[in-house]
Structure 1
């Protein structure tokens, strides 16, 4: 399953909480004999890009993200060619950025939104993806000298995506419809490290504590029934450990890639909670 003797692949999107730096530790815990990997929170897809399963089910509640992936899967050359047009110096300034961002918020064509989404991701502040309560993309201009155009990374994603199906449904529905025997990797919006660090607006709908409970409960149920092994990433907090009380928990440190303050970009503890078929306690009641 895990890629061996292959170059480690970066995602073509910047993404808060991306798993590039944790790939080795994650893949060590994923079952190697499964044919299918299901990701209910695919994000930028670093785990997808750095594993070798026969099939993938990649899900996210963000319609712009899934729309982009579907277009890249079906018409990579056309999409990448259109994206390249926006990586010119004349579009790398605040006036151009905010004009294109306004266009994005008014655009209804999914292909054009996919093109602009990649531009906003690489030209916006700190690679954030954020919407306001009205569903408007509101990340400010990033002021980069020369944003990198990830052409090679996009082509790699497109080629690998030929073995993937993309869905945009609730994570619990995605997990419950996973093929029997498939391994499920979950990278949800994280439990807050503090009361002020509660950013969860990666999509137009937030991710409340009740959703964290639903995730832990669903993972435990699937493993207990013998249907699927589930691995979940999250911050290592007392709340996380209570949520995952009947999982095999491993703690690790990872550098924080995206933070508003440079001084906060430090190593933080994360947990990898493994709900393995055949090794789950009977108590599955959520916290």
Structure 2
């Protein structure tokens, strides 16, 4: 099942690769410290899910869908018509989003902008303002079936905003952890990891591995996705298992930039 959200680096196309490496035997709860669009938890079967992300708007949206799905879907659908599919209306709503602290309104506009904004990006400026431009799609898709599926799956999930260390601090026997952090850049001169208004540094990547090593002693396995570059080759040198595969990258302004890149799954157990 697809996520209701367009999401840079979404894992829908590589679920089978993740399943082939992620230890699930005897595990009852999936923890995701970087839940993102949610494709992984939506396509894996566990008794419980503990899902964390730094993006407060994302977590608020997920909790709102979980709490009252039918009301949210009915209200969200009102934004998906030709009246709202213009640059003028998009920028009006983006301004309204950036100027309000109303969680419900922000969640509705967040979904609208995700589907009407450029290339499925989620990006904020240094002041915390959402700044993705209008996408100019003829008929933006309203993900009703995906929202309904999400709402059903979310009954077994807990969504929390916070740093990835929070997720690791909650881990216990019977858990398995899957990490999809902002990727280490292929080109260090054009690094883009500021999905939630903050950057994810090499030090953060190292801190993530340290968290994986720390819970390994409790019998809790951790699987990490990333680009396979010189930095990650060295970073994951001590992983118990590694899997390399090719992925088609489609979040690119120019068609020629949509090329296959090599990724790694590094398992700590």
Choose from 96, 107, 124 the match for 1:103.
Answer: 96
Choose from 256, 259, 263 the match for 1:266.
Answer: 259
Query: Does the 8 Å contact 2:51/2:167 carry over to 1?
Result: no
Alpha-carbon deviation of 1:85?
0.3
1:65 aligns with 2:40: no
- 1:189 corresponds in structure 2 to 182
Alpha-carbon deviation of 1:32?
2.1
- 1:176 corresponds in structure 2 to 169
Choose from 33, 47, 64 the match for 1:54.
Answer: 47
Q: Secondary structure at the match of 1:67?
A: helix
- 2:9 corresponds in structure 1 to 17
Supply the distance in 2 between the matched residues of 1:257 and 1:160 (Cα, whole angstroms): 27
Choose from 18, 23, 27 the match for 1:31.
Answer: 23
Alpha-carbon deviation of 1:179?
2.2
Q: What TM-score results when the alignment is normalised by the length of structure 2?
A: 0.97
Choose from 235, 239, 253 the match for 2:231.
Answer: 239
Unaligned runs of 5+ in 1: 1-8, 277-287
Alpha-carbon deviation of 1:257?
2.5
Supply the distance in 1 between the matched residues of 2:250 and 2:14 (Cα, whole angstroms): 12
Q: Point out the more displaced range, 196-205 or 267-276.
A: 196-205
Supply the distance in 1 between the matched residues of 2:234 and 2:218 (Cα, whole angstroms): 22
Alpha-carbon deviation of 1:125?
0.3
Q: Point out the more displaced range, 134-143 or 260-269.
A: 260-269
Unaligned runs of 5+ in 2: none
Query: Does the 8 Å contact 2:117/2:132 carry over to 1?
Result: yes
1:201 aligns with 2:194: yes
Q: Point out the more displaced range, 103-112 or 256-265.
A: 256-265
Supply the distance in 2 between the matched residues of 1:202 and 1:179 (Cα, whole angstroms): 29
Supply the distance in 2 between the matched residues of 1:257 and 1:232 (Cα, whole angstroms): 21
Choose from 104, 110, 121 the match for 2:114.
Answer: 121
Alpha-carbon deviation of 1:146?
0.5
Number of aligned pairs? 267
Query: Does the 8 Å contact 2:193/2:200 carry over to 1?
Result: yes
1:229 aligns with 2:255: no
Q: What TM-score results when the alignment is normalised by the length of structure 1?
A: 0.91
RMSD of the alignment, in Å?
A: 0.9
Moved over 6 A (4+): none
Q: Secondary structure at the match of 1:91?
A: coil
1:151 aligns with 2:144: yes
Query: Does the 8 Å contact 1:133/1:204 carry over to 2?
Result: yes
Supply the distance in 1 between the matched residues of 2:142 and 2:230 (Cα, whole angstroms): 40
Choose from 120, 123, 129 the match for 1:136.
Answer: 129
Alpha-carbon deviation of 1:180?
2.0
Alpha-carbon deviation of 1:228?
0.9
